[in-house]
Amino acid sequence: MNDNSRFYACIMAGGSGERFWPMSRAQTPKHLLKLLSDRTLVEETVRRVGHVVPAKNIFVLTNEVQLPGTRAALAGLVPADQIIAEPAKRDTAPAAALATALVRARGGEGATLALLPADAFIPDAATFQAQLEVALQHAGPRNSLITFGIKPDHAATGFGYLELAPERGETIGGSLLRKVVRFVEKPDRPTAERYLAGGNHVWNAGMFVWTVSAFLAEAQAHVPELATFIREFPTGDFKAFLADRFPKLPKISVDYAIMEKARVVETVLAQFGWDDVGLWTALPKHLKTDAAGNATRGAVVVSDAANNIVVSNGRTIALCGVKDLVVVETADAILVCHRDAVQDIKKIVQQLPKELL
């Protein structure tokens, strides 16, 4: 049996999830919704990781507004004092620094951690767990920062990509690791189609594995403020330090700050299904769908309707003679939106009264 006591997981659970309004609100964003099962996405994430990393080594990073809801969702799964509110919104590089600092304070610079989003949908938990363990076991010996790359199944323009080195790479424990040449921002449609046809680009899943020492070295080289934060992070009560120092960290993504500049970045080519469930239009792949393409959940009745996404959280929704709509019902609001306009839901959110946010 492998000794996983030196492995840690830090789960980022602080997003706003405006595109999933009206179900998603400031206190209950996407990762706190039961979108695809009877568990919240953050609970599903913790349960997956918990088969690889001991519960005592799992940290969840959220914000003050979402702290009560996150602790409630994870009661009995993660110790309450390991669910930590970031005192300011500072993007993913400071979150990565905080995660690394927490692990360093607990396990030293030789410890290895996975930094994972709370809201990814991964139905094949067993394969994910096996590949996560491979990454955790080999990040240290390979002295590299490791990502997870998802093989594209369509020309997506909403994801960042990883361009892979032409060499085939190395197979370890059944998982293929390949070097990353560069990180690519969300492309336009022609570029995405070229990536899909070329076969040398994969989606960046935003999941990372590294040793404390490896990340610390890269932070020192590229963003010294992050390295100083990690080194000075206290091993005891850190609340005052976090409140004072975290808001002063540069607001920048971990991709820009570290990953794009790092000496060696490798990717584990994922063998598991993955979806970041970023929009309502991501749901049809995972919901019950009828012959006319209507994806529904809850009390929904349709007649002569096609290609709609309909979610009821209580009241019955009846659709007749319409197509290509997204209709979502909650106790205090109803969304009716064309499927092609789901990217713009956040514009509606900006116009809503505070009690609906």
Triad 160, 17, 257: Cα angle to 5°: 40
CA distances from 180 to 17, 38, 50, 185, 187 (A): 29, 37, 28, 14, 17
CATH architecture of 7-269: Alpha-Beta Complex (3.90)
Q: What is the pTM of this model?
A: 0.91
Kindly indicate the confidence band of residue 259, based on its pLDDT and cuts at 50, 70 and 90: very high
Kindly indicate the confidence band of residue 2, based on its pLDDT and cuts at 50, 70 and 90: low
On average, the pLDDT of the chain sits at 93
Domain ranges in the chain are 7-269, 280-356
- Tally the residues of the chain: 357
pLDDT for residue 225 is more than 50? yes
pLDDT for residue 279 is more than 90? no
Q: Residue 220's Cα: distance from chain center in Å?
A: 25
- Residue 75's pLDDT is 94
pLDDT for residue 146 is more than 50? yes
Whole-angstrom Cα Rg for the chain: 21
Query: Quick one: average pLDDT of 170-192?
Result: 92
pLDDT for residue 1 is more than 50? no
- Residue 208's pLDDT is 97
Torsional class of 206: left (φ above 0), alpha (ψ -120 to 50), beta (otherwise):
left
pLDDT for residue 132 is more than 90? yes
Specify the 3-state DSSP secondary structure of 219.
Answer: helix
Tokens matching residue 97: 């620094």
End-to-end Cα distance, the chain: 48
Highest mean pLDDT, choosing among 163-177, 239-253, 277-291? 239-253
Percent of residues, the chain, with pLDDT higher than 70: 99
Percent of residues, the chain, with pLDDT higher than 90: 78
- Residue 143's pLDDT is 87
Contact between 307 and 291 (Cβ < 8 Å): no
CA distances from 157 to 146, 160, 163, 315, 342 (A): 23, 8, 15, 35, 14
Residue 68 CA to residue 349 CA, distance in Å, equals: 23
